[in-house]
Structure 1
């Protein structure tokens, strides 16, 4: 426009000029960058929280499968024990030495089979216990990631409040809560 033209500012223009004059230097820009960083880190933390929760569920399922397999092995062990007991009884009841020898051989075979079955059942129980422990550890990490994500979400909410109220101390609150979230995320990363 030329110098001689009449220029009228609208209410929106007036508010923008007023905000530019009274806003702390770069306040909105700083909060925008802080919020973007918090949201990015929060997205990573949220992903890790979901991943550890899924791992915990898979490990818990693995523990249940191994426990069932161990139970099956113990049932098999018990059935071999029952057969062994029947063979021992038969060896005592038969009159022929040839029949006694046959039943005593069966008793020895069942005894060996039971020992192998017992080792397998104990190994499956140990695998089940190990998977249970790993599942509990993954759930602990999931909770850490969830706490970190929540702290970052609170920090983002504080940033929005700081921007609306234009309070510098709220920006410091945003940074403090974001710091808490990052520390909790670091603890999860370090598996503490």
Structure 2
């Protein structure tokens, strides 16, 4: 409500205004720069985490499509098996020219089933490969998410250090930042 002459300042706002008006001290400036750097790295890690999660979802979707296609092929295979069974029954129930016709149909169905089976197996292998890649991407996403969380903790701790003026908290900020950077590197390396 600053338009009516009344404005509420938070402790952080007061500290920022104080630094702007009076130049601040070296501690405040260093913590501010450190926080800005950590925030920037955290934003990059957050972006990478989102990217890896999207990739994992796309690969999982691809796996589902391949599984559906494989299922369709196996249904087609079963339909050809049923036709082959009927043709085999017809071979035993007929004779002469009709029997020869059904024998040819049995051989044709056997050949068609082999081709269908090869395609179904190929689609199942593709589905399995996509599932495995999706799991790998989710693992990478978890690394990025953990790295981002560690950097957010470091930012919060730097704000506490700035507000309380406790210099020992800066060591905790460096530790959380270091851990976040290491975990982010593991995500980058897909480990």
Same fold (TM over 0.5): yes
Distance of 1:155 and 1:175 partners within structure 2? 7
Normalised by the size of structure 2, how large is the TM-score? 0.87
Structure 2: segments with no counterpart, 5+ residues? 1-13
Deviation of 1:171 after TM superposition, in Å, equals 1.1
Distance in 2 (CA, whole Å) between partners of 1:26 and 1:182 is 25
Report the CA distance between 1:190 and its aligned residue: 0.7
Q: Is 1:53 equivalent to 2:88 in the alignment? A: no
Distance apart, 1:148 and its partner CA = 0.1
Residue in structure 1 matched with residue 5 of structure 2 by the alignment: none
Q: CA deviation at 1:100?
A: 1.1
Counterpart residue number, 2:86: 86
Give 1 or 2 for the bigger CA radius of gyration: 1
TM superposition outliers: structure 1 runs of 4+ over 2 Å: none
Report the counterpart of residue 67 of structure 2 in structure 1.
67
CA distance in 2, matches of 1:70, 1:27: 64
* d(CA) in 2 for partners of 1:58, 1:94: 54
Aligned partner of 2:178 in structure 1 is 179
Aligned mates of 1:64, 1:173 — CA distance in 2? 45
Instruction: Tell me how far apart the structure 1 counterparts of residues 53 and 129 of structure 2 sit (CA, whole Å).
Output: 17
Alignment size in residue pairs: 172
Shift of 1:40: 0.3
* Partner residue in 2 for 1:9: none
Distance in 1, Cα, partners of 2:172 & 2:105: 78
Kindly state the Cα deviation for residue 66 of structure 1 after the two structures are TM-superposed.
0.4
Q: Distance in 1 between matches of 2:27 and 2:176?
A: 18
TM-score by length of structure 1 reads 0.86
Structure 1, unmatched stretches of 5+, are 1-11
Separation in 1 of the partners of 2:170 and 2:28?
10
* Paired position in structure 2 for 1:188: 187
Aligned twin of 2:99: 100
- Give the Å deviation of 1:160: 0.2
CA distance in 2, matches of 1:171, 1:74: 62
Deviation at 1:140, TM superposition (A): 0.5
Structure 1 residue aligned with 2:160 = 161
